[in-house]
Amino acid sequence: MVLMKLLATAGSPYARKVRVVLAEKRIDCEIVILPSLSDPDCPVPTYNPLGKVPTLVLDDGSGLYDSPVICEYLDSKTPVAHLIPQDRRIEVKRWEALADGICDATVAIVMEGRRAPEKQDESVIQRQRLKVERGLQTLSQDLGENKWCLGEAFTLADVAVGCALGYLALRMPELDWRARHPNLGRLYDQLMKRPSFRNTAPPT
């Protein structure tokens, strides 16, 4: 019987990262797509005091978070399709931190944009936008002409970068990262050939 359960939302780039890892590693896990995190009966806070997704509910009923911790846990669970090579672990984690940081800045821009127009602070938006732009610049520079982030091996770095790019395309289409960084477009197209990515694309 499968007891492990992933609490997610359809659009969360952090939850997508975990969903891709589950698919790549062929790990059985129930995926619960929650319609909203603000419902009073939302189950997330029961397992994660921070109330954030993704949260993985383990077989013993305890909660695991956040997405980097869950991904590392899942990668250690089975040797199938290793995504964090031990000899390059810190490199992979650095790519992941940058990709997740781009998502954090994008979320902050989206949240600021949801405030009443008179309450929005343009300087907050500009500061976060600079993080996104510098982050993309670094991703693009570091990828260069490589097939994958670390060269020949497909790793969690590619998963994290792909989820950040997909989220940006959805939330900040005007940024047009494909036109600015064609090598990131090439990476995303490669990723979308994988069922793990195609089946977890955020709803438009």
Ligand X SMILES: N[C@@H](CCC(=O)N[C@@H](CS)C(=O)NCC(=O)O)C(=O)O
Residues that bind ligand X (CB under 6 A): 12, 14, 37, 51-54, 65-67, 100
Q: How far is the CB of 101 from ligand X (least distance, A)?
A: 10
Task: Closer to ligand X by CB, 102 or 181: give it.
Answer: 102
Write out the H or E segment, with its range, that includes residue 160: helix 156-171
Q: How far is the CB of 8 from ligand X (least distance, A)?
A: 9
Rounded to a whole number of angstroms, the distance between the first and last alpha carbons of the chain is 34
> Which tokens hold the place of 48?
């994660």
Whole-angstrom distance, CA of residue 19 vs CA of residue 28 = 11
Task: Closer to ligand X by CB, 103 or 184: give it.
Answer: 103
Task: Closer to ligand X by CB, 12 or 196: give it.
Answer: 12
67-77 helix and 156-171 helix, angle to the nearest 10 degrees: 140
Contact by Cβ (8 Å): 162, 188: yes
Whole-angstrom distance, CA of residue 157 vs CA of residue 148 = 8
Task: Closer to ligand X by CB, 14 or 177: give it.
Answer: 14
Q: How far is the CB of 179 from ligand X (least distance, A)?
A: 26
Task: Closer to ligand X by CB, 32 or 185: give it.
Answer: 32
**What's phi and psi for 129, nearest 5 deg?**
-65, -35
